[in-house]
């Protein structure tokens, strides 16, 4: 205020900066718990996914010999652990006058690693052989039904779920609202409008399927569309992990800085192509 003086020996750090530094705002990570987990054995950085071959029964005439068929396995994709890192330099000045600490850096680095895994997993959606939706067109309920049907043709057990981009959720809500008053009485769709978003990206149900929302679903068709997916969580995708993220802090005495680094080894691949179906719709509101 006018006429007042503040002396340096009486001023605290809180007088200059907000002691509640706001976290980095990120889109939700949803895929870590929606993939089949594979633990790599010690000393190995890879593992091949396999599945049993289907067998067929046939009629055999009386006293005739049945034709033997070799029972085997089909080799799928190979999970190969790759290293990702986040490296930050923390200066002495930023710690003394900026209110930053290595612990804060560790938290943000862990979130960045999680975001990288999530982005890579969602990037596999356009690779599914089955797709539903039309480029440049808003997402509608009938395309959701089509995607659910196609993913169900794999006969993978368990409930299927939807992972959609923010704008795809917007399209669905707009479709529900404008499609007629009777739709509000249908619990299969109205739940999507009123459910409170959860930290894992869950935003409600539609067609009795859980819906997860994230902006990590990729842009496709020259960035004209977003590609979400309908998938069976434990069958469509697999993820290989070696160990939890590892963080180290090392000091540099000549610069009076500290380097904070976090590394993580992982890989994500399709496990069963038919257990997922890409959902394409326009990327704009």
Q: What does the pLDDT look like over 138-164, one tens digit per residue?
A: 999 999 999 999 999 999 999 999 999
| pTM given for the model | 0.86
- Residue 241, burial from CB neighbour count under 10 angstroms (0-12, 13-18, 19+): middle
Mean pLDDT for the stretch of residues 217-222: 97
CA-based diameter of the chain, in Å?
A: 112
Predicted local distance difference test score (pLDDT) of residue 178? 77
If you average pLDDT over every residue of the chain, what do you get? 86
Question: pLDDT per residue over 72-127, tens digit each?
Answer: 788 889 999 999 999 999 999 998 888 888 988 998 998 999 999 999 999 999 99
């Amino acid at each position: 205020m006018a006429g007042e003086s503040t002396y340096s020996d009486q001023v605290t750090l809180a007088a200059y900066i907000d002691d509640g530094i706001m976290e980095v705002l990120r889109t939700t990570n949803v895929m870590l718990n929606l993939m089949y987990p594979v633990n790599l054995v010690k000393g190995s950085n890879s593992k091949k996914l396999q599945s049993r071959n289907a067998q067929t029964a046939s009629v055999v005439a009386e006293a005739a010999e049945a034709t033997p068929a070799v029972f085997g396995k089909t080799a799928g994709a190979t999970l190969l652990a790759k290293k990702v890192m986040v490296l930050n330099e923390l200066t002495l000045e930023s710690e003394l006058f900026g209110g930053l600490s290595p612990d804060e850096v560790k938290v943000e680095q862990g979130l960045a690693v999680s975001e990288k895994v999530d982005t890579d997993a969602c990037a596999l959606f356009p690779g599914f052989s089955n797709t539903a939706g039309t480029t440049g067109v808003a997402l509608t309920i009938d395309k959701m039904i089509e995607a659910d049907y196609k993913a169900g043709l794999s006969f993978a057990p368990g409930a299927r779920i939807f992972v959609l981009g923010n704008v795809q959720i917007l399209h669905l809500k707009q479709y529900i609202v404008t499609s007629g008053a009777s739709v509000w009485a249908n619990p299969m769709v109205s739940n999507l409008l009123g459910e409170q978003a959860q930290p894992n990206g869950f935003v409600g149900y539609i067609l009795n399927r859980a819906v997860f929302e994230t902006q990590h679903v990729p842009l496709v068709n020259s960035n004209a569309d977003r590609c979400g997916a309908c998938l069976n969580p434990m069958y469509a995708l697999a993820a290989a992990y070696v160990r939890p993220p590892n963080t180290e802090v090392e000091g540099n005495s000549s610069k009076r800085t500290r380097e904070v680094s976090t590394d993580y080894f992982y890989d994500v691949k399709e496990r069963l192509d038919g257990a997922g179906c890409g959902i394409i719709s326009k990327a704009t509101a």
